[in-house]
Amino acid sequence: MFKVETEVGGRTLTIATGEWAKQANGSCTVKYGDTMILCAVTMGEEKASDFMPLTVDYREMTYAAGKIPGGFFKREGRPRDSEILTGRLVDRAIRPLFPKDFAQEVLVSILVLSSDVENKADILSLIGAAAALMVSDIPFETAIAGCRVGYKDGNFIINPVISEIEECLLEVIVAGTKNGITMLEGGAGEADEETLVAAVEKGKHVIDGIIAILEELRGKCGREKVKGARTVRPPEDFQKKVLGAIRAKLIDSFKEKSHSRRRELVSAVKAECALELD
């Protein structure tokens, strides 16, 4: 087993790999406080048509908090809205960092093993997905991490606990790489722009520290990346021809404020382009 640790917001963040889900392309556990998640990533063998089918499955079972589901059957149901939103958060953070022409199916499975009902598992899931991908043989090279920043009584709080989040004037999730911020999500009361910018800067500083241990973990046990992974990329001359035919029209279509009307205009541009290039 390989393990790395760092202090984040006064608590120890521990990332370990090599003990769980050994048949996956990559896997790791992330522990923060007494909350712990398991993340495993797998890659399919078949080639997709013209897109990358990335799926992030996040599940937070009630046993993680030491409870049993209510009701007659005492079983877990379909994913709750909060689980779906956490999966989307992870997806938005990691999807842009795959190679542009990579088109093999990738499944990111995240399971909450233990919850202390204080430290939320969404940030751990983002870090775990990045760590599992980095140590795997899937062509995912760029280190990414995230943290939550709260603002309360004139002070910034890194990864506030659940009770503190409810009292924060501002709460924002920051995800990024060494080179900058890639995703922001959050909400606030009447917070000014300077406070938001300062919160993002605080988050970026924390992210840099987490990225350092992610790269350390990859250096210890990272697998060699798959060479010649199946990709889908049209010929360069064809790409230029398509862009030349639709670029200006698409830009005009995106200026339409109505969502339904904008969708109709984009569909019309696609249909017109298909006829021209047929």
Flag whether 157 is in a domain: no
Same domain, 114 and 245: no
Q: What CATH code is carried by the domain that includes residue 43?
A: 3.30.230.70
User: Which residue from 77, 144, 75 is spatially nearest to 108, judged by alpha carbons?
Assistant: 144
Does a structural domain hold residue 98? yes
139 and 242, same domain (yes or no) = no
Q: What angle do CA 181, 143, 6 make, to 5 degrees?
A: 95
Structural domain for 273, as ranges: 236-277
Confidence of residue 207 (pLDDT cuts 50, 70, 90): very high
- What confidence tier does 53 reach under pLDDT thresholds 50, 70, 90? confident
Domain boundary among 221, 245, 264: 221
Same domain? 131 vs 249: no
Residue 154 within any structural domain of the chain: no
- Same domain assignment for residues 80 and 118: yes
CB 39 within 8 A of CB 246: no
The residue among 12, 30, 16 whose CA lies nearest residue 127 is 30
Segment 204-210 mean pLDDT? 93
Q: Check whether residue 72 and residue 14 sit in a common domain.
A: yes
Shared domain for 137 and 256, answered yes or no, is no
Provide, rounded to the nearest whole percent, the portion of the chain with pLDDT above 90. 43
Residue 185 lies in a domain: no
In a domain, 129, yes or no: yes
Tell the residue number behind the tokens 């109709």, with chain if given.
Answer: 264
Q: Does residue 80 sit in the same domain as residue 216? A: yes
pLDDT at site 86: 92
**Most confident of the ranges 40-49, 61-70, 100-109:** 100-109
Residues 166-205: pLDDT tens digits?
A: 888 899 999 999 998 999 998 888 888 899 999 999 999 9
The verdict on residue 101 lying in a domain is: yes
Task: Say whether both 90 and 57 belong to one domain.
Answer: yes
User: Quick one: 83 and 215 in the same domain?
Assistant: yes
pLDDT one-digit tens code per residue, 257-276: 888 899 999 999 888 888 87
d(CA 133, CA 106): 10
Shared-domain flag, residues 118 and 87: yes
In a domain, 58, yes or no: yes
CA 212, 214, 216, 219 torsion-angle sign: negative
**Domain membership flag for residue 257:** yes
Instruction: Examine the domain organization and report whether 133 and 241 are in the same domain.
Output: no
Query: What CA–CA distance (Å, rounded) separates 87 from 74?
Result: 24
pLDDT tens per residue across span 76-129: 778 889 899 999 999 999 999 988 878 888 999 999 999 888 899 999 999 999
pLDDT in tens, 223-268: 888 876 666 667 778 878 888 888 888 888 888 888 889 999 999 9
Q: Do 216 and 246 share a domain, yes or no?
A: no
Q: Quote the number of domains for the chain.
A: 2
As a whole number, the mean pLDDT across the chain is 88
